[in-house]
Amino acid sequence: MKLSTYLMFNGNCEEAFTTYQKVLGGKITAMMSHEGTPAENDVSPDWRKKIIHACLELDGQMLMASDAPPDRSSGSMRSVYVNVMVKEVAEAERIFKGLSEGGQIQMPIGETFWSKSFGMLTDRFGTHWMVNAEFKNG
């Protein structure tokens, strides 16, 4: 199991990650905008060039982020998620079920265009979680 932080920005994710790479080192291994993805039509036209997923790898660790459309965010850094990445779908589903007990599911766990299984929730303690089974192309 790997735990990593997923930051939600108000539209300046690309600038932030370029700065983080410069300051922290590492390598940006993903910087994908909404444009050209199946999620493109789920955001306003002025938001399509904003980042849907970014990843900065640092010494075997990952810092991930995206730009959260204003209608899906309570504000910059108020939407920080702990991301759990596991290899097997069954393990992702088990963890998701356990964390969601007494909590609120934002996105039910299921297959996405990037992951074998992905879901988002806020647990009963107020912690925001993303649960992933291994990326499809990773």
Asked if residue 54 belongs to a domain, the reply is: yes
Max distance between CA atoms of the chain, in angstroms, equals 41
9 pLDDT tier (thresholds 50, 70, 90): confident
Asked if residue 76 belongs to a domain, the reply is: no
The 10s digit of each residue's pLDDT in 13-72 is: 999 999 999 988 899 999 999 999 998 998 999 999 999 999 999 989 999 999 988 777
For residue 138, pLDDT beyond 90: no
> pTM here?
0.72
| Overall domain count for the chain | 2
Asked if residue 46 belongs to a domain, the reply is: yes
Structural domain span for residue 52: 1-58
Asked if residue 92 belongs to a domain, the reply is: yes
Query: Position of tokens 């399509």?
Result: 48
Q: Which among 68, 79, 81, 78 has a CA at the least distance from the CA of 13?
A: 68
Are 91 and 53 contained in the same domain?
Answer: no
* pLDDT value of residue 136: 72
